[in-house]
């Protein structure tokens, strides 16, 4: 199928890092191909309510980048796709791509008639399972590309076919098939494969999945987001009660040799930020942040100072040891030692947010090519010539540092691919 | 900071400006590491251990504070700390420790170090707690018992039916052991009193009288109630309970034998049908099985949650051997292997000496310290029941 005549840079992963690599290289005048496994670009940033450094909604940054992609003929991208094989060497890689069917073509206008008739529902992964969508769905309201997709794990296919009947634009192709194709003449490759939230069920003493109203920091982003499962109202999942008393549990799995043996770098800032969501949206609320030490490097120190001024946000030194359900209630009991006052306490909260850490995507998956991973599963900075990494694929970090790293990686990719 | 070696003053002093000056006892830190606490410096004070410990109470959480005090070499403060002994070594803390600092092992090392230094006379504490002196520790009773044999002229294996009192007449053996046990008991009481006086009673308001608290503590101890709270190491309760009652039973047996001899002139060997023998054999079995459970449990757990120190291992093996030599001494007598019986009996006596005379200096000394620690917590109202 698609065979780029001209030499190109391949970017794996269409989150903020991958998109940044792609637009930087393309705007310097080089061809870029972007491969993304989700049906949309924007990755984890798209799931946030607000993000650092300026605390703007994710679309502030993403939309500019999407426009840069749309305007630039040097970029092509594949969604619902993954790289299955890499061969060749720097300057001339051959890359095999597997593309899963979207079942919806570019004639889709997002009129939503299909959604109205679709009888099947699916767990909404974009909202971490806190709500559902139909089997034909828009990944989220600002999705790019703005196209519906069908989740074939739930869709009954041609035997149902109700969506096809109502679609006036001939946009639905229920017989679409998975395809594979090879991209030749790839000069260099940048892995921008990003991260997953560490599975909190593995941290048994913190009760996630077992105790009601224990959620993750990313779930908190979705609860606060206006396009989230609660339309931006911060309510607890079990009974929809507006939360008044919330605990944040830092280092949930991070800096722990039994789980993630490193600091995930972002969770302190993320909890400080999310505590401001709660304080802004639920005015009578109080927040307790349980920490080992608060890590707010560089300018972020100012944000900590700002949050500390709020008397309703308490910082308690002492990692949470145990989380249990209060008896005959949906409240949550948290056990900890308050290190400063040397008291062991149990405290009751409406909801508990686990500041879960980042786990490298590359740790989980079998990888194409001979990629060198460091002990924690992140991509080792030096690889075979022509293969680079950007953002959290390399090390845990925030958006700012990931984007800076992406720009640097774009330059390296250009040098290898187009060296004269 | 002032760095000093092995000093005996408080590690925390105020200077003239009123600020606190810490004087870490570096030798103490090294000793704790050598006694099985080599992971202490890994601790980064997250406090998961104090939070998860089922015995850690609101006003007296541990073992986080013990971890930093050990890192800082605050020996004297640690030696005043009842929580080291209140700990039942269940290792829930070590299981969850995010840094592999093994607080359970550190507290074990602190206990060993405390026994070594607090016991009277101190040199015996050193000999018994240090595994490299174990052979020497056995040499002392071997020499003394051999001296008795020389003085009695019993230097060859007696002919005829195996009767152990032909080697050591009851009078000599009873006099020998009871005098040593009496001395050792006095030393133990002195050591326990030293510990009790160290505890910072002024820090806590007393809510209970000593006598009543002690009785409650003993009652709880008999049922091993605190062990039931352990999560990781639940098998340990049964093993520990069996070893405890094994020793209690054997103590009763020994007193019973003496009672028979001195009051009824019944000599050993006592017939297998006698209730005394039932108690004796049941206790021996309890001791052996209990020790095997504890050893198996330790092997299963090896390096996962705890790395037992050589001090612990040496002691567990000696406890097992006292049971095994005792039982085989009886079996060999019953099947009448004369050449084996008397030497085995001699060896068994060495183990008996080790266990009962060295009691205040060995791991078993924890019995009294732990009882006092529980009593202390009950008096202070910080006991977790």
User: What CA–CA distance (Å, rounded) separates A147 from A109?
Assistant: 7
Encoded tokens for B200: 């910072």
What is the C-alpha end-to-end distance of chain B, expressed in Å?
A: 41
The verdict on residue B2 lying in a domain is: no
- The shortest C-alpha distance from A338 to chain B (Å) reads 8
Closest CB to B58: pick one of A257, A322, A344: A344
* CA nearest neighbour of B135 among B366, B328, B329, B314: B314
Question: Would an 8 Å CB–CB cutoff place A342 in contact with chain B?
Answer: yes
User: What CA–CA distance (Å, rounded) separates B140 from A77?
Assistant: 84
Check which CATH number belongs to the domain holding B207 and give it.
1.20.950
All residues of chain A having their beta carbon less than 8 Å from the beta carbon of residue B44 are 255, 292
Which parts of A107-216 fold into alpha helices (H)?
113-117, 162-166
- Residue A237, CB-side half-sphere exposure with 13 Å CA sphere: 22
Nearest Cα residue in chain B from A322: B52
Which parts of A287-390 fold into alpha helices (H)?
300-308, 361-364
The verdict on residue B5 lying in a domain is: no
Check which CATH number belongs to the domain holding A192 and give it.
3.50.50.60
The residues facing A99 across adjacent strands are A81, A179
> Quick check: A321 and B61 CB within 8 A?
no
- The shortest C-alpha distance from B65 to chain A (Å) reads 8
Question: Would an 8 Å CB–CB cutoff place A337 in contact with chain B?
Answer: yes
Nearest Cα residue in chain A from B63: A337
User: What CA–CA distance (Å, rounded) separates A391 from A406?
Assistant: 6
User: What CA–CA distance (Å, rounded) separates B56 from B58?
Assistant: 7
Question: Would an 8 Å CB–CB cutoff place A343 in contact with chain B?
Answer: yes
User: What CA–CA distance (Å, rounded) separates B153 from B68?
Assistant: 59
R_g (Cα) of chain B, nearest Å:
23
Helices B338-357 and B310-334, interaxial angle, to 10°?
A: 140
All residues of chain A having their beta carbon less than 8 Å from the beta carbon of residue B45 are 292, 339
Residues B72 and B111 in one domain: yes
Is B282 a residue whose pLDDT tops 70? yes
> Quick check: B98 and A317 CB within 8 A?
no
* CA nearest neighbour of A17 among A301, A391, A349, A369: A391
Q: Phi first, then psi: what are they for A415, rounded to 5°?
A: -60, -45
Distances from the Cα of B290 to the Cα of A45, B232, B250, B286, B297, angstroms = 58, 18, 14, 6, 10
- Write the DSSP assignment of B53-97 as a string of letters: -TT-BTTB--SHHHHHHHHTT-HHHHHT-THHHH-----HHHHH-
R_g (Cα) of chain A, nearest Å:
23
Per the CB < 8 A criterion, the answer to whether A225 and A281 are in contact is no
Is B14 a residue whose pLDDT tops 90? no
Range(s) of the domain holding residue B287 = 122-380
Q: Is the dihedral of CA B258, B263, B267, B270 positive or negative?
A: negative
* CA nearest neighbour of B118 among B16, B40, B187: B187
Per the CB < 8 A criterion, the answer to whether B154 and B173 are in contact is no
User: What CA–CA distance (Å, rounded) separates A406 from B108?
Assistant: 50
Which of A356, A379, A397 delimits the end of a domain?
A356
Distances from the Cα of B79 to the Cα of B27, B111, B115, B122, B379, angstroms = 15, 9, 10, 15, 19
- How does pLDDT run across B105-150, given as a tens digit for each residue? 999 999 999 999 999 899 998 888 888 888 999 999 999 999 999 9
Residues B106 and B130 in one domain: no
Question: Would an 8 Å CB–CB cutoff place A318 in contact with chain B?
Answer: yes
Per the CB < 8 A criterion, the answer to whether B384 and B55 are in contact is yes
SS3 A330: coil
SS3 A408: helix
- How does pLDDT run across B238-274, given as a tens digit for each residue? 899 999 999 999 999 999 998 898 898 888 888 888 9
Per the CB < 8 A criterion, the answer to whether B267 and B230 are in contact is no
Average pLDDT over chain B reads 88
- How does pLDDT run across B309-366, given as a tens digit for each residue? 777 788 889 999 999 999 999 999 999 888 899 999 999 999 999 999 999 999 899 9
Which of B74, B102, B118 delimits the end of a domain?
B118
All residues of chain A having their beta carbon less than 8 Å from the beta carbon of residue B47 are 292, 317-319, 321, 336-337, 339
> Quick check: B64 and A343 CB within 8 A?
no
Range(s) of the domain holding residue A408 = 8-100+178-196+359-418
If one counts the domains in chain A, the total is 3
- How does pLDDT run across B143-180, given as a tens digit for each residue? 999 999 999 988 888 888 888 888 888 888 889 999 99
> Quick check: B52 and A317 CB within 8 A?
no
Q: Cα–chain-centroid distance for residue A256?
A: 22
Per the CB < 8 A criterion, the answer to whether B87 and B107 are in contact is yes
Task: Count other Cβ atoms within 10 Å, centred on residue A375.
Answer: 8
Closest CB to A257: pick one of B57, B59, B99: B99
Task: Return the pLDDT at B132.
Answer: 85
Residues (pLDDT < 50) of chain A are 1-2
The verdict on residue A81 lying in a domain is: yes
Task: Return the pLDDT at B7.
Answer: 47
H or E element that contains B253 = helix B235-264
Task: Kindly indicate the confidence band of residue B3, based on its pLDDT and cuts at 50, 70 and 90.
Answer: very low
The verdict on residue A217 lying in a domain is: yes
Encoded tokens for B289: 């099985």
Residues B98 and B190 in one domain: no
Question: Would an 8 Å CB–CB cutoff place A292 in contact with chain B?
Answer: yes
Per the CB < 8 A criterion, the answer to whether B309 and B128 are in contact is no
Query: What are the residues whose beta carbons fall under 8 Å from the beta carbon of B150, sequence distance 6 or more?
Result: none
Q: Which residues 246-275 of A have a C-beta within 8 angstroms of B?
A: 251, 255-259
Residues A334 and A233 in one domain: yes
As for the ipTM of the complex, it is: 0.89
Question: Would an 8 Å CB–CB cutoff place A347 in contact with chain B?
Answer: no
If one counts the domains in chain B, the total is 2
* CA nearest neighbour of A418 among A21, A117, A174, A92: A92
Question: Would an 8 Å CB–CB cutoff place A317 in contact with chain B?
Answer: yes
User: What CA–CA distance (Å, rounded) separates A385 from A369?
Assistant: 12
> Quick check: A345 and B58 CB within 8 A?
yes
User: What CA–CA distance (Å, rounded) separates A252 from A199?
Assistant: 10
> Quick check: B59 and A343 CB within 8 A?
yes
- The shortest C-alpha distance from B363 to chain A (Å) reads 30
Residues B85 and B158 in one domain: no
- How does pLDDT run across B44-93, given as a tens digit for each residue? 999 999 999 999 989 889 999 999 999 999 999 999 999 999 999 888 99
Residues B67 and B162 in one domain: no
All residues of chain A having their beta carbon less than 8 Å from the beta carbon of residue B46 are 251, 255, 292, 318-319
Which parts of A154-252 fold into alpha helices (H)?
162-166, 217-224
- The shortest C-alpha distance from A33 to chain B (Å) reads 42
The residues facing A86 across adjacent strands are A95
Residues B18 and B86 in one domain: yes
Distances from the Cα of A124 to the Cα of A151, A160, A209, A358, B264, angstroms = 10, 21, 17, 21, 86
Residues A213 and A343 in one domain: yes
Residues A85 and A215 in one domain: no
Residues A243 and A320 in one domain: yes
Per the CB < 8 A criterion, the answer to whether A64 and A27 are in contact is no
The verdict on residue B385 lying in a domain is: no
Nearest Cα residue in chain B from A252: B98
Mutating which of A263, A321, A341, A346 best tests the B interface, going by the most B Cβ atoms within 10 A?
A: A321
Dihedral, CA of residue A381, residue A384, residue A386 and residue A388, to nearest 10:
-20
């Amino acid at each position: 199928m698609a065979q780029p005549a001209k030499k190109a840079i391949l970017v794996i992963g269409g989150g903020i890092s991958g998109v940044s690599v792609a637009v930087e290289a393309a705007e310097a005048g080089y061809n870029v191909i972007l491969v993304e496994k989700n049906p949309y670009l924007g990755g984890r940033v798209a799931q946030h309510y607000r993000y650092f450094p300026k605390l703007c909604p994710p679309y502030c940054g993403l939309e500019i980048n999407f426009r840069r992609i749309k305007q630039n003929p040097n970029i092509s991208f594949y969604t619902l796709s993954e790289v299955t094989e890499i061969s060749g060497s720097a300057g001339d890689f051959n890359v095999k791509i597997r593309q899963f069917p979207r079942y919806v073509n570019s004639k889709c206008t997002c009129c939503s008639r299909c959604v109205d008739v679709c009888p099947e529902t699916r767990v909404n992964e974009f909202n971490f399972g806190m709500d559902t969508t139909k089997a034909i769905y828009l990944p989220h309201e600002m999705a790019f590309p703005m196209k519906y997709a069908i989740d074939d794990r739930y869709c009954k296919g041609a035997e149902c076919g109700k969506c096809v009947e109502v679609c006036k634009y001939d946009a639905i192709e229920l017989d679409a098939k998975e395809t594979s194709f090879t991209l030749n003449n790839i000069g260099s490759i940048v892995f921008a494969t990003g991260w997953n939230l560490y599975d909190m069920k593995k941290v048994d003493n913190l009760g996630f999945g077992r105790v009601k109203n224990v959620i993750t920091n990313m779930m908190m982003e979705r609860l606060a987001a206006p396009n989230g499962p609660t339309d931006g109202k911060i309510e607890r999942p079990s009974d929809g009660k507006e939360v008044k008393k919330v605990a944040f549990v830092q280092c949930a799995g991070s800096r722990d040799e039994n789980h993630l043996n490193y600091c995930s770098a972002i969770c302190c800032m993320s909890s400080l930020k999310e505590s401001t969501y709660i304080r802004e949206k639920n005015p009578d609320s109080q927040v307790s942040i349980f920490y080992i030490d608060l890590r707010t490097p560089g300018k972020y120190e100012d944000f900590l100072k700002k949050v500390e001024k709020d008397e309703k946000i308490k910082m308690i030194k002492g990692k949470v040891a145990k989380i249990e359900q209060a008896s005959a209630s949906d409240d949550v009991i948290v056990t900890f030692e308050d290190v400063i006052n040397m008291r062991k306490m149990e405290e009751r909260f409406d909801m508990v947010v686990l500041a879960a850490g980042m786990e490298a995507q590359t740790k989980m998956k079998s990888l194409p090519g001979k990629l060198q991973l460091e002990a924690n599963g992140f991509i080792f900075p030096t690889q075979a010539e022509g293969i680079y990494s950007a953002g959290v694929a390399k090390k845990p970090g925030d958006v700012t540092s990931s984007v800076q790293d992406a720009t640097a990686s774009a330059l390296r990719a250009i040098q290898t691919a187009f060296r004269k | 900071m002032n760095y000093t070696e092995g000093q005996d003053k408080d590690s925390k002093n105020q200077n003239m400006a009123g600020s606190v000056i810490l004087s870490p006892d570096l030798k103490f830190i090294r000793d704790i590491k050598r006694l099985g606490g080599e992971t202490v410096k890994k601790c980064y004070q997250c406090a998961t251990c104090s939070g998860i410990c089922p015995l850690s109470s609101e006003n007296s959480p541990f073992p986080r504070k013990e971890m930093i005090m050990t890192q800082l070499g605050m020996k004297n403060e640690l030696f005043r700390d009842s929580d080291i002994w209140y700990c039942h070594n269940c290792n829930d803390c070590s299981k969850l420790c995010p840094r592999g600092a093994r607080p359970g092992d550190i507290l074990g090392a602190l206990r060993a170090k405390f026994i070594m230094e607090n016991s009277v006379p101190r040199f015996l504490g050193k000999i018994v707690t240090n595994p490299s002196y174990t052979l020497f520790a056995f040499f002392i009773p071997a020499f003394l018992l051999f001296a008795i044999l020389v003085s009695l002229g019993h230097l060859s294996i007696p002919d005829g039916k195996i009767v152990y009192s032909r080697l050591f007449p009851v009078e000599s053996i009873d006099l020998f052991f009871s005098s040593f046990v009496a001395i050792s008991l006095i030393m133990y009481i002195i050591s326990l009193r030293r510990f009790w006086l160290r505890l910072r009673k002024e820090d806590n308001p007393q809510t209970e009288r000593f006598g009543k608290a002690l009785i409650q503590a003993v009652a709880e101890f008999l049922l091993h109630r605190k062990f039931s709270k352990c999560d990781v190491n639940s098998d340990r309760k049964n093993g520990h309970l069996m070893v405890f009652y094994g020793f209690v039973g054997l103590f009763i047996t020994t007193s019973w034998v003496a009672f028979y001899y001195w009051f009824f002139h019944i000599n050993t060997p006592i017939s297998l049908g006698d209730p005394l023998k039932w108690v004796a054999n049941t206790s021996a079995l309890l001791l052996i099985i209990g020790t095997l459970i504890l050893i198996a449990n330790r092997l299963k757990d090896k390096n996962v949650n705890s790395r037992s120190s050589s001090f612990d291992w040496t002691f567990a093996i000696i406890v097992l051997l006292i049971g095994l030599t005792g039982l085989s001494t009886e079996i060999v007598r019953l099947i009448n292997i004369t050449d084996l019986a008397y030497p085995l009996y001699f060896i068994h006596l060495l183990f008996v000496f080790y266990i009962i005379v060295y009691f205040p200096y060995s791991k078993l000394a924890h019995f009294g310290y732990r009882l006092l620690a529980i009593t202390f917590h009950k008096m202070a109202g910080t006991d977790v029941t």
